[in-house]
Structure 1
Amino acid sequence: MHGAYPAISVLSYLLAGPLTFGLMGWGVDQWLGTSFLLVVGLLGGMGLAFYVIWLRYGRA
């Protein structure tokens, strides 16, 4: 069993991944003067969130 509330856990992964990596991408954008790393961070965070969800809940 993966806990009493797996939906809340999945939602937290889906929010925390893009938020964390998007914030890091925004910070690096500000530091380097670029404008594309925010999007890279958001997409990378979402991809990692899906991967972690698959690892945790996708296997039988």
Structure 2
Amino acid sequence: MDADELKTQLKKLNAKATQAKMDLHDLSEELPTGWEKILEVAQRCHDAHAALMAARKAAAAAGA
């Protein structure tokens, strides 16, 4: 992957992670309504941030 592709991928992953964070935040503000979704939303948030951190690490290793 070249530098531009890495930057594009990072932007997409960052947007996905940010949206997941906001979804988790919104859910927390609505509790106890929607409590059944806690694990699902938290897992999605965790996965999005894990992917973002892995991509950032790969980009740093590639010197991008």
The alignment's TM-score, normalised by the length of structure 1, stands at 0.51
The alignment's TM-score, normalised by the length of structure 2, stands at 0.48
Which 5+ residue runs of structure 1 have no aligned equivalent?
A: 33-44
Tell me which of the two structures has the higher relative contact order, counting C-alpha pairs closer than 8 angstroms and 6 or more residues apart. 2
Q: Which residues in structure 2 correspond to 1:30-41 (within 5 Å)? A: 30-32=30-32
Q: CA RMSD in A?
A: 3.0
Structure 1 stretches (4+) deviating beyond 4 angstroms?
none
Which structure dedicates a bigger proportion of its chain to helix? 2
Which 5+ residue runs of structure 2 have no aligned equivalent?
A: 33-45
User: What is the count of residue pairs matched by the alignment?
Assistant: 47
SS of alignment partner, residue 31 of structure 2: helix
